[in-house]
C-alpha cells in the first residue's frame, strides 16, 4: 500500500506494480497528482510540469495492478511487517466514479460558485467539479461543504442533468480494512501559510501572494490562462519581488529551523518564466539570505538568471512590506549589506514559502507509530534512507524532509525497492495478467473495416450529427460494418465491439471518439481480446479536436468529422499487423563501481532475489567512503562501511571483481555481454541490466598553498586525521575552513553540494574535541540544505565564526613558521581581517572521472562538467535514455551518503522492473530498412539518438543499415531523413500518411 498520490507516491506505486506486486494507492484528495500537478514549470530545465507528469498519471490510472483509492485516508495500521492490516476511511464523493463519464455537465449546471482551492483560491469553480482538467481518475465530485442540496436539501440539478446517472447525493462515508505486506508513506508536505505574518501584508493585500499562488498565475491552465497579471487590478506588473525563507530558517516567527531546500531554485525559475511571459521589460528581484543552488544544473541556472536574464539578487531579509496608497504598489523596507535601510516599490510581492508537515499529519504519523524529527519530518537513518522507525513501513518524498522532485522520485524508488524486497517471495502472486486469445492470421484476407462512432453522451452527439457520420462511413470503400455507440469506452460497448469483430470478420477497426492519447490503449486491448493484432486500430479524435472546439458550428463540425473518418479509413486500409519482438532478459545485474552506491545497489538486487556482479577498478571495496569520518547525522562512517562490505562479502548472490576493468561491452537491454580484464585475465559476464556507479573524486587544489604547506589540507585529509586522532589537529588553537575551492568557478561552475555540511560537521567536531579552539569558516553561500540547517545553527551557537567572501575577493594565505596568515574581507565590517591559523582545510570540489570509454561502452551521455546525464532530470533521475542502463552515486552528481544509497536503491528498483518481467516486448512502431533500397550512407546511424540503426558488418546486405527493434523508439527521425527512401516507420509509414493526405 502506498499512501499519498503525489509524484513520490506515484513513482513508488509504479515501481512496485511494474515489478509484480499488487498496489493500493491511497489518496486523500479527489485525484492523484499532488503539488506537482499545480506547478507550471519545473527547475532547472523549465520543463512543463503537467507535460512530464501526465504520462505517469495515465499509467497509474490504467494500471491493472494499481487500485487508486481517492478521498481516502489511513486510520490505523495494525500488524507487523509482511502482514499489516490497514483501516481506511473513504469520504463521500457523491458521484459514482464507475458511472461518471467526465462530461462536465454537472459542473456546468451547478448553481453554486465557490473558491477554487486547486487554483489557490484565485478564481471560482462550482460545487460540482473536477480537481483539475488532467485529473486521474478523471471523475467529478461534489463539494459537500458548499453543495446547496447537501447543505439545505434543495437543488439536485446535477443529479437531474447527469446523462450517466452517476450522481449519488445519498453517498455516505465508508470504512474498510485491507491486508497488505508493506506500507509506503508519501503524504507530502503542506506549503507554509503566511497568514498572520502581518509585517508582510499577506492576506491584507491581494498583490502579496505565495509562490504557489504565483505558480498558478504562470500556468497556462491557471486562473489567468498564463497571462501575467496582478490580482488587485489585473494590470501587468512591471516590478516583482521574491522574498526568500518565508516559513524556513526562521525560529522567531514560525519555529521552522530548517531550510526548505527548494525555494531558491523555484524563485529563480519563476523570475525567469515571469520575464518570458511579460511583453515588456520586467524587473525581477530576489531577496535572499544564502542562495542555495546546490543541485545538478542549479548553479548554471542561477548564473543564467543573473547574467542572461538580468534577474537582480539582493542579499537581505526584508523586514516590512506595506501597501503604498499613492503609487498603488507595495513598499519593501530592508537593510542592505552595508546596513543602510532601503525602501523600494514593487507591483507584486511573492513570498517563497517553505515546506512543512501539517499538524494533523504529525499527529497522524504519531498514531501510526512513526517517529518524527525535530522539524516535523520523518526520522530516518543515513544508511537506510527510506526506512521509517516502524519495521516494514517506508517513507519517501517531502514527508521525509524538505526536498525537490528528483530527490522525491529517487526516494520513491528506494522505498519501493525496500517494500518489494520484504515481499519478494510473493512477487507475481496477486497481479493480474489478462489472458489473450491467439492472434488471428489475417494474411490474404481482403480488408474489412469496422467503423465505430461514439456519441460520448452529448459531448460529441450534441454537436456532431453522429448518425450522419455513421451513414457516411458506410459509403466508404471496404467499410464492412458501421455502428454508433453512446459511450464507446464503457465496458459493455467494449464487449459489443469484440463480438462484432468476430461476427463480422472485421480486420481493420476505426474508432471515432475522444483522444487516442487517453483511450487508444483501451481499444487496442479490445482488439487483442477479439484476436486481432492491436496495431490494426486507427483512432479518430472527434471530441477533443472537433465537437468541443466547434460548438457553434455543428454543420462544419459534422463535415470535419466525416473528413477525419475518411482519412482514417484510408490509413486503416494500409495498416498491417505489427510484431512486438519478445526479448529474453538475463536475470543478472552488473554494477560498475564498488563504492557505497555500487554496494547498496548490489545488496538491493540481492534482496529482490537477483544476482549481481560488482566491477571495481580498485583493490578494495568502499570508494570515497573509506576516507570519511562522520555523516551529517553523526554516524561513524567506517563502522557502517565495514558492515556493508561484510554483507556484500557474505551474500551468495553477489560476485565482486576487484582490480578489474571493462574491456568490451556488447548487446543491449536484457542481453549485455561484458568482458572484464583483471591482471591480463578475462572474464565474460552476461547480464540483463547495468548500473553505473563509477563515482567521483576529490579535487587536488592548486591554490591556498595546498601541497606546499603541511598545515593546508583538503576536507578528506582532515577526516583522515580526525579518524586517526591526530594530535596536531586536536592541539590546534585556530582552525580555518575555506569553502568552494574549485567549485562555483568559471572552469567548474557547479556547486559540490556536500562541502558546506561537511565543513560544518568537521567544525563542530573540532569544537567538541577542544571547545577553546577558534574555528572560522570562510564561505560564499552556506548551503546546509534541508534539515542540515540545524548543524549550521549549532555551529554558530558553539562559537564557530562564519565569514563571507566574494569570488572576486578571495582569501589570501601566507605561511609563516608560527602560523598560516589568512586575510579575508569581513562582509559586515567591510575591512580586511587577518586570521592566524594552525590548520587550514580546503573544501575541495568533487570532480568526476570523465570516463569516456565507459560512456562509449553503454552509449550514455556526459554533461560539460563530466557527470553522466540521466534520462530525465526530474522524473527519471537514476536511469539513462539507453534502456537497461541505470545510474547512481557520485557519477551522477556530488551527494552525501544517504542520498547515494537512496539513489542506488532507486536505480535497482527501476532495474528490477525489467528483471522481474523475464521477457520484454518492444513496441511494434519501429523503423525498418529495405536493404535493397539502402545506399549505406549512414545518415540514420549518425542521427538516431538511441543508436538503433547500424550498418551490417557481414552476411547478405553487408554495409546496409539495419534497425534494432529493441533500441528503436519509433520517432521516425531516420525515416524522414533517409535520402534513398529505404526506411519505413511501421504504423506511420509514408504510404499511410500519403493516403490520409489524399483523402483529406
Footprint on this chain of another protein (rule: CB under 8 A): 40, 45, 47-48, 50-51, 54, 133-134, 219-221, 225-226, 515-518, 541, 543-546, 548-553, 556-557, 559-560, 563-564, 566-567, 881, 925, 943, 945, 969-973, 975-977, 985, 988, 990, 993-994, 996-1000
Name the one residue in this structure whose C-alpha cell is 437543488: 155
Dist CA 876 CA 899 (whole Å): 15
Min dist. Cβ of residue 544 to another protein (A): 3
Min dist. Cβ of residue 285 to another protein (A): 27
Dist CA 885 CA 878 (whole Å): 9
Dist CA 598 CA 594 (whole Å): 5
Min dist. Cβ of residue 166 to another protein (A): 19
CA 393 to chain centre: 22
C-alpha atoms less than 13 angstroms from C-alpha of 145 in its C-beta half-sphere: 3
* Nearest partner of 658 among 594, 608, 598, 612, judged by Cα: 594
Min dist. Cβ of residue 860 to another protein (A): 13
Answer yes or no: are the C-beta atoms of 470 and 476 closer than 8 Å. Answer: no
Residue 546 or residue 597: which is nearer to another protein going by CB?
546
Residue 163 or residue 401: which is nearer to another protein going by CB?
163
Dist CA 928 CA 987 (whole Å): 11
Min dist. Cβ of residue 968 to another protein (A): 11
Min dist. Cβ of residue 552 to another protein (A): 6
Answer yes or no: are the C-beta atoms of 147 and 133 closer than 8 Å. Answer: no
Output the CA–CA distances (angstroms, integers) from residue 539 to 515, 518, 523, in the order listed: 8, 11, 9
Specify which residues 513 forms β-bridges with: 541
Provide CB contacts within 8 A for 860, sequence distance 6+: 692, 854, 868, 869, 880, 881, 882, 885, 887
Min dist. Cβ of residue 970 to another protein (A): 6
Min dist. Cβ of residue 522 to another protein (A): 15
Residue 480 or residue 999: which is nearer to another protein going by CB?
999
What nine digits make up the cell of 653?
A: 548472490
Residue 138 or residue 648: which is nearer to another protein going by CB?
138
Residue 294 or residue 550: which is nearer to another protein going by CB?
550
Residue 366 or residue 458: which is nearer to another protein going by CB?
458
Name the one residue in this structure whose C-alpha cell is 570523465: 850
Rg value, the chain, Cα: 31
What nine digits make up the cell of 222?
A: 491557471
Min dist. Cβ of residue 211 to another protein (A): 19
Output the CA–CA distances (angstroms, integers) from residue 434 to 63, 484, 492, 576, in the order listed: 12, 27, 17, 24
Min dist. Cβ of residue 221 to another protein (A): 6
Question: Read out DSSP for 795-850?
Answer: HHHTT-EEEE-BTTB--EEEE-SS-EEEEEE-TTT-SEEEEEESEEEEEEPEEE--
Phi, psi of 87 (to 5 degrees): -95, 125
Dist CA 660 CA 32 (whole Å): 46
Residue 442 or residue 986: which is nearer to another protein going by CB?
986
Provide CB contacts within 8 A for 440, sequence distance 6+: 507, 531, 532, 533
Residue 538 or residue 651: which is nearer to another protein going by CB?
538
Q: Where are the beta strands (DSSP E) in 186-311?
A: 190-191, 208-210, 239-246, 283-288
Residue 302 or residue 880: which is nearer to another protein going by CB?
880
Residue 37 or residue 69: which is nearer to another protein going by CB?
37
Phi, psi of 329 (to 5 degrees): -120, -175
Say if residue 988 is exposed, middle or buried (CB neighbours under 10 Å; 0-12, 13-18, 19+). Answer: middle
Name the one residue in this structure whose C-alpha cell is 451513414: 471
The 10 Å Cβ neighbour count of residue 761 is 25
What nine digits make up the cell of 860?
A: 550514455
Residue 141 or residue 843: which is nearer to another protein going by CB?
141
Residue 392 or residue 461: which is nearer to another protein going by CB?
461
Residue 3 or residue 50: which is nearer to another protein going by CB?
50
Min dist. Cβ of residue 863 to another protein (A): 14
Buried b (16+ CB within 10 A) or exposed e, 514-526: bebebbbeebbbb
Report helix angle 7-18 to 405-422, nearest 10: 40
Provide CB contacts within 8 A for 512, sequence distance 6+: 451, 452, 453, 454, 469, 473, 540, 542, 561, 564, 565, 568
Answer yes or no: are the C-beta atoms of 789 and 258 closer than 8 Å. Answer: yes
Question: Read out DSSP for 886-912?
Answer: EE-GGGTS---HHHHHHHHHHHHHHHH
Min dist. Cβ of residue 924 to another protein (A): 13
Min dist. Cβ of residue 229 to another protein (A): 14
Question: Read out DSSP for 136-162?
Answer: BS---EE-TTT-HHHHHS---HHHHH-
Residue 806 or residue 998: which is nearer to another protein going by CB?
998
Name the one residue in this structure whose C-alpha cell is 489475417: 442
Min dist. Cβ of residue 60 to another protein (A): 18
Residue 144 or residue 881: which is nearer to another protein going by CB?
881
Residue 483 or residue 536: which is nearer to another protein going by CB?
536
Min dist. Cβ of residue 502 to another protein (A): 28
Residue 133 or residue 437: which is nearer to another protein going by CB?
133
Residue 204 or residue 943: which is nearer to another protein going by CB?
943
Min dist. Cβ of residue 133 to another protein (A): 5
Dist CA 950 CA 960 (whole Å): 8
- How far from each other are the two terminal CA atoms of the chain, in whole angstroms? 50
Min dist. Cβ of residue 259 to another protein (A): 30
Min dist. Cβ of residue 477 to another protein (A): 12
Amino acid at each position: 500500500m502506498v499512501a499519498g498520490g503525489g509524484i513520490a507516491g506515484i513513482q513508488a506505486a509504479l515501481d512496485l506494480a511494474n515489478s509484480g506486486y499488487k498496489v493500493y494507492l491511497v489518496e486523500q484528495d479527489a485525484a492523484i497528482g499532488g503539488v506537482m500537478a499545480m506547478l507550471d514549470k519545473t527547475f532547472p530545465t523549465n520543463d512543463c510540469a503537467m507535460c512530464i507528469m501526465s504520462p505517469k498519471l495515465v499509467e497509474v490510472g490504467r494500471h491493472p495492478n494499481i487500485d487508486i483509492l481517492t478521498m481516502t485516508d489511513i486510520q490505523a495500521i495494525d500488524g507487523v511487517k509482511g502482514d499489516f492490516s490497514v483501516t481506511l476511511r473513504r469520504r463521500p464523493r457523491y458521484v459514482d466514479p464507475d458511472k461518471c463519464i467526465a462530461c462536465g455537465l454537472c459542473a456546468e449546471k451547478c448553481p453554486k460558485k465557490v473558491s477554487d482551492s486547486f487554483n489557490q483560491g484565485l478564481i471560482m469553480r462550482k460545487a460540482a467539479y473536477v480537481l483539475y482538467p488532467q485529473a486521474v481518475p478523471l471523475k467529478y465530485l461534489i463539494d459537500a461543504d458548499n453543495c446547496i442540496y447537501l447543505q439545505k436539501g434543495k437543488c439536485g440539478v446535477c443529479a437531474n442533468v447527469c446523462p450517466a446517472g452517476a450522481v449519488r447525493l445519498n453517498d455516505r462515508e465508508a470504512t474498510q480494512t485491507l491486508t497488505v505486506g508493506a506500507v509506503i508513506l508519501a503524504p507530502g508536505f503542506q506549503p507554509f501559510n503566511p497568514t498572520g505574518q502581518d509585517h508582510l501584508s499577506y492576506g491584507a493585500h491581494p498583490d502579496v501572494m505565495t509562490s504557489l499562488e504565483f505558480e498558478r498565475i504562470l500556468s497556462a491552465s491557471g486562473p489567468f490562462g498564463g497571462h501575467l497579471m496582478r490580482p488587485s487590478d489585473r494590470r501587468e506588473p512591471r516590478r516583482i519581488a521574491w522574498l526568500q525563507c518565508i516559513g524556513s530558517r526562521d525560529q522567531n516567527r514560525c519555529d521552522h529551523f530548517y531550510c526548505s531546500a527548494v525555494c531558491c531554485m523555484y524563485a529563480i525559475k519563476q523570475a525567469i518564466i515571469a520575464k518570458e511571459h511579460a511583453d515588456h521589460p520586467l524587473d525581477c528581484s530576489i531577496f535572499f539570505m544564502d542562495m542555495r543552488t546546490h543541485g545538478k544544473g542549479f548553479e548554471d541556472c542561477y548564473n543564467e538568471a543573473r547574467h542572461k536574464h538580468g534577474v537582480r539578487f539582493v542579499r537581505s531579509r526584508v523586514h516590512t512590506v506595506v501597501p503604498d496608497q499613492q503609487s498603488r504598489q507595495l513598499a519593501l523596507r530592508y537593510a542592505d549589506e552595508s546596513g543602510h535601510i532601503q525602501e523600494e516599490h514593487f507591483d507584486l510581492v511573492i513570498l517563497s514559502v517553505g515546506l512543512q508537515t501539517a499538524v494533523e499529519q504529525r499527529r497522524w504519523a504519531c498514531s501510526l507509530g512513526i517517529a518524527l524529527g525535530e522539524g516535523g519530518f520523518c526520522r530516518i537513518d543515513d544508511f537506510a534512507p527510506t526506512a521509517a522507525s516502524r519495521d516494514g513501513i517506508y517513507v519517501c518524498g517531502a514527508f521525509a524532509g524538505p526536498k525537490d522532485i528528483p530527490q522525491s522520485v529517487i526516494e520513491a524508488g528506494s522505498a519501493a525497492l525496500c517494500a518489494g524486497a520484504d515481499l519478494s517471495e510473493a512477487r507475481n502472486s496477486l497481479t493480474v495478467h489478462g489472458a489473450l486469445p491467439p492472434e488471428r492470421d489475417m494474411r490474404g484476407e481482403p480488408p474489412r473495416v469496422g467503423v465505430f462512432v461514439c456519441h460520448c453522451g452529448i459531448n460529441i452527439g450534441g454537436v456532431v450529427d453522429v448518425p450522419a457520420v455513421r451513414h457516411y462511413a458506410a459509403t466508404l470503400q471496404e467499410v464492412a460494418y458501421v455502428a454508433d455507440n453512446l459511450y464507446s469506452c464503457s465496458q459493455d460497448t467494449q464487449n459489443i465491439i469484440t463480438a462484432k469483430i468476430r461476427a463480422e470478420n472485421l480486420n481493420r477497426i476505426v474508432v471515432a471518439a475522444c483522444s487516442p492519447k487517453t483511450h487508444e490503449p483501451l481499444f487496442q486491448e479490445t482488439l487483442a481480446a477479439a484476436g486481432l493484432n492491436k496495431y490494426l486500430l486507427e483512432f479518430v479524435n472527434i471530441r477533443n479536436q472537433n465537437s468541443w472546439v466547434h460548438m457553434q458550428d455543428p454543420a462544419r463540425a459534422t463535415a470535419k468529422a466525416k473528413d477525419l473518418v475518411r482519412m482514417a479509413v484510408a490509413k486503416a486500409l494500409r495498416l498491417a499487423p505489427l510484431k512486438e519482438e519478445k526479448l529474453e532478459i538475463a536475470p543478472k545485474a552488473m554494477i560498475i563501481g564498488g563504492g557505497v552506491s555500487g554496494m547498496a545497489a548490489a545488496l538491493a538486487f540481492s534482496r529482490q532475489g537477483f544476482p549481481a556482479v560488482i566491477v571495481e577498478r580498485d583493490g578494495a571495496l568502499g570508494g570515497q567512503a573509506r576516507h570519511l569520518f562522520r555523516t551529517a547525522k553523526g554516524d561513524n562512517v567506517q563502522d557502517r562501511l565495514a558492515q556493508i562490505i561484510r554483507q556484500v562479502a557474505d551474500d551468495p548472490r553477489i560476485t565482486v571483481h576487484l582490480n578489474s576493468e571493462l574491456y568490451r561491452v556488447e548487446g543491449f537491454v536484457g542481453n549485455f555481454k561484458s568482458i572484464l580484464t583483471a591482471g591480463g585475465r578475462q572474464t565474460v559476464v552476461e547480464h540483463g541490466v547495468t548500473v553505473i556507479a563509477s563515482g567521483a573524486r576529490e579535487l587536488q587544489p592548486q591554490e591556498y598553498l595546498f601541497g606546499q604547506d603541511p598545515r593546508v589540507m583538503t576536507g578528506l585529509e582532515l577526516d583522515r586525521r580526525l579518524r586517526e586522532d591526530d594530535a596536531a589537529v586536536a592541539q590546534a588553537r585556530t582552525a580555518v575552513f575555506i569553502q568552494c575551492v574549485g567549485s562555483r568557478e568559471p572552469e567548474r561552475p557547479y556547486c559540490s553540494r556536500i562541502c558546506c555540511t561537511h565543513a560544518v560537521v568537521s567544525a563542530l567536531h573540532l569544537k567538541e574535541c577542544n571547545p577553546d579552539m577558534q574555528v572560522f569558516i570562510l564561505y560564499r553561500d552556506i548551503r546546509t540544505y534541508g534539515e542540515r540547517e540545524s548543524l549550521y545553527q549549532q555551529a554558530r551557537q558553539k562559537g564557530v565564526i562564519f565569514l563571507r567572501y566574494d569570488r572576486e575577493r578571495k582569501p589570501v594565505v601566507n605561511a609563516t613558521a608560527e602560523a598560516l596568515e589568512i586575510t579575508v574581507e569581513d562582509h559586515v565590517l567591510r575591512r580586511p581581517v587577518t586570521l592566524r591559523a594552525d590548520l587550514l582545510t580546503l573544501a575541495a570540489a568533487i570532480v568526476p572521472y570523465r570516463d569516456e570509454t565507459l560512456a562509449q561502452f553503454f552509449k550514455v551521455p556526459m554533461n560539460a562538467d563530466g557527470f553522466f546525464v540521466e534520462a530525465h532530470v526530474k522524473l527519471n533521475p537514476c536511469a539513462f535514455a539507453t534502456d537497461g542502463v541505470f545510474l547512481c552515486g557520485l557519477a551522477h552528481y556530488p551527494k552525501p551518503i544517504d542520498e547515494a544509497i537512496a539513489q542506488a536503491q532507486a536505480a535497482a528498483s527501476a532495474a528490477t522492473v525489467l528483471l522481474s518481467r523475464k521477457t520484454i516486448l518492444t513496441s511494434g512502431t519501429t523503423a525498418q530498412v529495405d536493404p535493397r533500397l539502402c545506399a549505406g550512407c549512414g545518415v540514420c546511424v549518425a542521427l538516431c539518438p538511441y543508436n538503433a540503426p547500424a550498418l551490417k558488418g557481414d552476411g547478405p546486405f553487408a554495409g546496409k543499415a539495419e534497425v534494432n527493434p529493441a533500441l528503436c523508439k519509433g520517432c521516425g527521425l531516420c525515416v524522414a531523413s533517409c535520402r534513398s527512401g529505404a526506411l519505413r516507420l511501421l504504423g506511420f509509414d509514408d504510404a499511410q500518411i500519403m493516403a490520409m493526405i489524399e483523402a483529406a
